[in-house]
A and B are shown apart, each in its own frame.
Chain A
Amino acid sequence: MSQGNLSYNLLLDVKGLSCPMPLVKAKQEVNKVSSGMVIKVIATDKGSLKDFQGWANVDKSIELVHQATEKDQDGKEIYVHYIKKK
């Protein structure tokens, strides 16, 4: 897992949404894209870190490429997930 500017095919903004919506919205996008594509998900729900890890453990159709905790302009924590459709 390398830090930095990972490339992605689709950006999904789920800021403000809480459990289980970030996961559900991400799954809906995964269903739409073709295999090999990477979706970058931006969330404000802290639980999404563990949620996406759990998802990747169970759902063999996706791979969690990278996760990061960043700060937005207001200094609020945001959680970024890169998921790849296998």
Chain B
Amino acid sequence: MTPEITKDSIQDLKSQIDTLQQQINQLRSELSSIIEQKDKVAIVVFSGDLDRVLASMIIATGAAAFGKQVSVFFTFWGINAIKAKRKLNNKKWHQVMFSLLNPSSSSQLPVSKMNFFGIGATMLRNMMREKNVSTLEELMKMAKEIGVKFIACEMSKDVLGIQDEELIEGVESGGVAYFLSHALNSAMTIFI
């Protein structure tokens, strides 16, 4: 027994197909946004310690090599890692003090443990050189070459009185919304 084919039943089938088609299209677009998310990595560098910033740069370059779009946000002490030079003009007195008490570039960063007024950091750099491990500066250069985005926190810059001329080249600025728009669309967010 075959069911009777009527105009109504054909119409009914057509509308069912249309509904399914719509659902498939919706799922497709959801899927593509999930796939896009999997392609992004967001990293916050809050710390200005050499060892920690190194870890962030190794993960950033590694993820970029994996084909991910990587954004690194430097905030608070982390800003020290993207400084190029110290400029004291246009700063208030406490900003001047802060600037003088903080490293003037990535080469001056301390280590998080056993720093001993910089001896620890120098020792670590020497040990890494012996093992042919890239320096922080080489890693940062490589990161930029391979497409890693560096973003400086606007608010930290403002509070600490850090001017764009003090930062290395190729650094954008952004606020928390800029960071969140990256992080919320990323498969992985790391806070260092």
Contact = CB atoms under 8 A, between A and B. Distances in A.
Given A55-B66, A58-B66, A24 B146 contact: yes
B58 A27 contact: no
B132 interface: yes
B143 to A, nearest CB: 9
Interface of B: 58, 61-62, 64-67, 131-134, 142, 145-146
Nearest to A16: B132
A64 B58 CA distance: 22
B65 A27 contact: yes
Q: Is the interface of A mostly helix, strand, loop or mixed?
A: helix
Contacts of B66: 27, 54-55, 58-59
Q: How large is the interface on A (under 10, 10 to 19, 20 to 34, 35 or more residues)?
A: 10 to 19
A20 B133 CA distance: 9
Interface of A: 16-21, 23-24, 26-28, 51, 54-55, 58-61
Nearest to A18: B133
A59 B64 CA distance: 10
A46 B61 CA distance: 18
Given A27-B146, A28-B145, A21 B134 contact: yes
